[in-house]
Amino acid sequence: MVKVGIVGGTGYTGVELLRLLAQHPQAEVVVITSRSEAGLPVADLYPNLRGHYDGLTFSVPDVATLGACDVVFFSTPHGVAHALAGELLNAGTKVIDLSADFRLQDADEWAKWYGQPHGAPELLDEAVYGLPEVNRERIKTARLIAVPGCYPTATQLGFLPLLEAGLADNSRLIADCKSGVSGAGRGLSVGSLYAEASESFKAYAVKGHRHLPEITQGLRRAAGGEVGLTFVPHLTPMIRGIHSTLYATVVDKSVDLQALFEKRYADEPFVDVMPAGSHPETRSVRGANVCRIAVHRPQGGDLVVVLSVIDNLVKGASGQAVQNMNIMFGLDERLGLSHAAMLP
């Protein structure tokens, strides 16, 4: 049984971790922290978890207690894992960070986008980017995992087959992406209030979004060189979901793109390449650790359109984190994650 600790258990990714781990046959949450809710039973804050975590209460983070765990998930704002990850690693505890603290390999680049110096640059070389479809072998032996962001997960999985095959014009990639309001987190924000977000639709951070360097970093690896990416995120009036509409120019029209995508993801348990002509919906992945992809070539031209959908809280965050844990501990990758999406 894998003993699990969670730092920062009161946000959306924290409660999603609890929901997923509650049905995991080989994992037990033994400690969960929150400075603001210390002493409160988990089930009192989250009634949906009644009967699953009786006796588990929130506590103040303590390195000794967390260090007794086999793995600790950080479900915290950026900068928090910097301060504790090193101590936990020294104690022999594996770390899976859901924040952006270890996603970028360049400490100066991280500081530029997050407005503060990187707090643990000495750990960046060890951190493994936790996209299993790319780094599964490295994840198996990792001590420190950086869980990819939601936009980066949907976007990279959609572009990867084209870039790895050398088919796309790497200088002109476009990612037109939409997110539900839960992507903004559980903290109070006027922009994510129901009255502000409902019956409206808007782009934001067009000049530059924090996920841009993460996406570009991953696409460069896949392409084996520089890429030019235009990334435009949008806020949509739904709670969960990411929909990425991706555009790439492909000169060689003779390649069967459907077959290319199906072959690339044939052995991936959480990527579903849909039949030709499909249009995946965000509701088809709600609550599930699945990325559904469809590839189109409109009018048979050289512009390829890839549609990629995920649940931002599952495959885009907590589900992918559990998937990484399973790989790290030699467990069946699908444990705790095999449930179907919720409809309606």
Give the SS3 label for residue 209. Answer: coil
For residue 48, CA distances in Å to 41, 52, 166, 327 come to 13, 9, 47, 28
Distance between CA atoms of residues 214 and 210, nearest Å: 8
Distance between CA atoms of residues 249 and 19, nearest Å: 41
The 10 Å Cβ neighbour count of residue 166 is 11
* Cα distance from N-terminal residue to C-terminal residue, the chain: 34
The helix (run of H) or strand (run of E) holding residue 43 is helix 42-45
Catalytic residues: 150
Q: Which of 123, 149, 319, 143 is nearest to 244 (CA)?
A: 149
CB-count exposure of residue 84 (10 Å: 0-12, 13-18, 19+)? buried
Pairing of strands 271-273, 291-296: parallel
Distance between CA atoms of residues 310 and 291, nearest Å: 5
| Contact status, residue 52 vs residue 27, Cβ threshold 8 Å | no
Whether omega before 121 lies within 30 degrees of 0, making that bond cis, reads no
Sign of dihedral through CA atoms 136, 137, 140, 143?
Answer: negative
Structure token pair of residue 196: 């502000």
